[in-house]
């Protein structure tokens, strides 16, 4: 889709140029030429700079040029005035997030796709594209050999936690044609057919130098190897091709949780926060028994993962121009941290199939950068006040405010949280429900560039549609006034 985006940008800039007076055209012709050369060379920063000059010459706000280049260059896992949050109308966070969007003035769109409210897993935004998994159904592709390789990989958790089953990407659209029918009024999408990709295992992030990177978890590469029966190098090549990025833009991140967004978060401005287990003080107004269990659990996990995964992640990101802050973003414990049956629940640590042991889960959120309305990080409501205050201090040091979304429909007439309303009798808080669901607010949302939605940019969407039709050798109308599917030859 990148080529289609650049064609549209050049078309818009030429139309802008054609509206200039003869005198202005003489001054602007070289700027337009340099802009088009930069686009052709893939130097989008320079191209955007020249485009801003053209917009200024036209008496327009130069921010319009950034909007034009947003999907191609500026889009990332951060909500701005040029992107929107997509969320299922049945998500328990929907009503609360809608209120917050009105308060902070950012865009939100609801959907009712029949694949559930884990939107992130099947609407995967890579900045200049939206990818939807459409792999063929395939069972038992994790052979003993691939599982053994996964357990020997220090960048994964299977060996340390002695797990015998590999995480598998759950969501795959059964019919690409049906998906087109369901989504085309809201999204322009491409398909992932070989990569074991879930949105929870991908970050689209821009470093301090303005360079965009695609962070995927080791689980993605490991499962892609097994699914396609290929070696690691080939699996990485498949991932690069389907993400549509350059090899140097792909960063493979080690994992101690099955999804990256449970262990780290992107804040924008080239900043990542990374959960660390090396906390010396667990005095969050907890009982001595709980404090000791948290300390023991975290010491075990620190021994397993701090050096091989967390510190290595920090180094990978620093080496590629990102600012890193270790934080204490989760609070949980196991009744018996040596029990393999309990260890498998990391990081929603539960001593049972319920939610015992989970106290706070603050990493699975998403960021906003709203100009005059400030920078924010949205996470689910947390009732551990001291822990919450500490987390807020961490982020305030990075220039970010923490905002909380609630599950408004799960409260009774006395404004008390109701496990019965949530359908989870033993749940007493939002955190309990998060633990029961094994996922949180980032998992249930996707941040998409407005350039990739006909709702916001119909002309650009129409352009992509007809460029795709040309590639498929379809008969098209002489104008782009209609969005019906042309007849096959």
* 278 and 216 assigned to the same domain: yes
Whether 379 maps to a domain, the answer reads: yes
Q: How far apart are CA 63 and CA 444, in angstroms?
A: 30
Question: Residue 466: inside a domain, yes or no?
Answer: no
Q: Do 57 and 87 sit in the same domain of this protein? A: no
Record the pTM: 0.87
> Could you tell me if 12 and 97 lie in one domain?
no
Same domain, 17 and 158: no
- Establish if 401 belongs to a structural domain: yes
Q: Is the residue at 427 inside a domain?
A: yes
* 221 and 275 housed in the same domain: yes
Domain shared by 59 and 181, yes or no: no
- Are 90 and 42 in the same domain? no
The sign of the torsion formed by the CA atoms of 354, 358, 363, 367 equals positive
**Structural domain includes residue 360:** yes
Taking CA atoms, 137 is separated from 90, 116, 190, 192, 318, in Å, by: 26, 18, 18, 13, 38
Measured CA distances, 65 to 15, 28, 69, 148, 186 (Å): 13, 15, 6, 51, 23
Domain count, the chain: 2
Is residue 480 one of the residues assigned to a domain? Answer: no
CB neighbour list of residue 127: distance below 8 Å, 6 or more residues apart: 71, 72, 74, 75, 76, 204, 212, 449
Rounded to the nearest angstrom, the gap between the alpha carbon of residue 481 and the centroid of all alpha carbons in its chain is 34
164 and 148 Cβ atoms separated by less than 8 Å:
no
One domain, residues 275 and 421 = yes
- Would you say residue 422 lies in a domain? yes
User: In which domain, by residue range, is 175 found?
Assistant: 79-450
Whole-number Å distance between alpha carbons of 327 and 395: 9
pLDDT in tens, the chain (489 residues): 555 578 888 888 898 989 999 888 988 999 999 999 988 887 888 988 999 999 999 999 888 888 888 877 778 899 999 999 999 999 999 999 999 999 999 999 999 999 999 999 999 999 889 999 998 877 788 899 999 999 999 999 999 988 888 999 877 788 888 998 899 899 988 999 999 999 999 999 999 998 999 999 999 999 999 999 999 999 999 999 999 999 999 999 999 999 999 999 999 999 999 999 997 777 788 999 989 988 988 999 999 999 999 999 999 999 999 999 999 999 988 888 777 777 777 766 655 555 678 889 999 999 999 999 999 999 999 999 999 999 999 999 999 999 999 999 999 888 899 988 888 888 889 998 998 888 899 999 999 999 889 898 766 655 455 444 444 444 443 333 333 333 332
Q: What's 42's DSSP letter? A: T
Residues 44 and 165 in one domain: no
SS3 state at 440: coil
CATH code of the domain in which 389 resides: 3.75.10.10
User: Is 433 in contact with 92 (CB distance < 8 Å)?
Assistant: yes
Give domain status of residue 23, yes or no.
Answer: yes
In terms of domains, do 398 and 311 share one? yes
My answer on whether 44 and 127 are in the same domain is: no
Rounded distance, CA 424 to CA 407, Å?
13
Query: Are residues 286 and 377 located together in one domain of the fold?
Result: yes
What's the rounded Cα separation, in Å, for the pair 170 and 156?
19
């Amino acid at each position: 889709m990148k080529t289609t985006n650049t064609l549209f940008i050049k078309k818009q800039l030429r139309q802008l140029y054609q509206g200039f007076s003869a005198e202005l055209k003489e001054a602007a012709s070289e700027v337009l030429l340099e802009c088009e050369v930069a686009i052709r060379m893939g130097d989008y920063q320079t191209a955007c700079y020249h485009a801003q000059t053209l917009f200024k010459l036209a008496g327009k706000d130069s921010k319009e040029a950034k909007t034009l280049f947003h999907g191609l260059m500026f889009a990332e896992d951060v909500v701005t005035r040029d992107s929107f949050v997509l969320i299922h109308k049945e998500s328990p966070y929907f009503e609360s997030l809608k209120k917050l969007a009105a308060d902070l003035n950012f865009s939100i769109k609801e959907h009712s796709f029949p694949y559930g409210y884990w939107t992130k897993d099947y609407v995967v935004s890579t900045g200049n594209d939206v990818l939807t998994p459409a792999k063929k159904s395939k069972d038992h592709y994790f052979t003993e050999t691939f599982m053994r390789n996964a357990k020997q990989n220090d960048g994964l958790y299977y060996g340390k936690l002695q797990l015998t089953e590999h995480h598998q990407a759950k969501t795959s659209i059964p019919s690409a044609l049906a998906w087109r029918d369901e989504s085309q009024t809201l999204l322009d999408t491409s398909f992932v057919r070989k990569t074991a990709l879930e949105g929870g295992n991908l970050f689209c992030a821009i470093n301090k130098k303005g360079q965009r990177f695609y962070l995927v978890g080791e689980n993605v590469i490991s499962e892609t190897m097994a699914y396609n029966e290929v070696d690691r190098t080939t699996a990485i090549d498949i991932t690069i091709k389907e993400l549509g990025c350059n090899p140097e833009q792909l960063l493979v991140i080690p994992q101690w949780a099955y999804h990256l967004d449970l262990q780290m978060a992107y804040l924008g401005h080239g900043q990542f926060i990374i959960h660390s287990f090396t906390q010396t003080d667990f005095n969050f107004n907890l009982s001595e028994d709980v404090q000791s269990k948290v300390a023991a659990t975290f010491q075990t996990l620190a021994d397993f993962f701090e050096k091989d995964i967390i510190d290595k992640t920090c180094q990978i990101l620093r080496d590629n121009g990102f600012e890193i802050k270790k934080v204490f973003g989760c609070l949980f414990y196991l009744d018996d941290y040596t029990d393999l049956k309990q260890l498998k629940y990391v990081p929603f640590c539960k001593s049972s199939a319920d939610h015992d042991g989970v106290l706070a889960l603050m990493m699975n959120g998403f960021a906003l950068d709203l100009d005059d309305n400030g920078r924010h990080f949205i996470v689910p409501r947390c009732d551990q006040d001291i822990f919450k205050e500490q987390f807020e201090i961490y982020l305030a040091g990075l220039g970010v405010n923490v905002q909380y979304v609630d599950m408004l429909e799960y409260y009774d007439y006395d404004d008390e949280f109701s496990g019965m309303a949530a359908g989870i009798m033993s749940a007493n808080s939002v955190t309990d429900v998060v633990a029961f669901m094994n996922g949180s607010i980032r998992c249930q949302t996707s941040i998409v560039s407005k350039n990739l939605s006909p709702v916001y940019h119909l002309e650009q969407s129409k352009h992509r549609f007809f460029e795709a039709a040309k590639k498929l050798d379809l008969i098209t109308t002489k104008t782009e006034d209609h969005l019906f599917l042309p007849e096959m030859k």
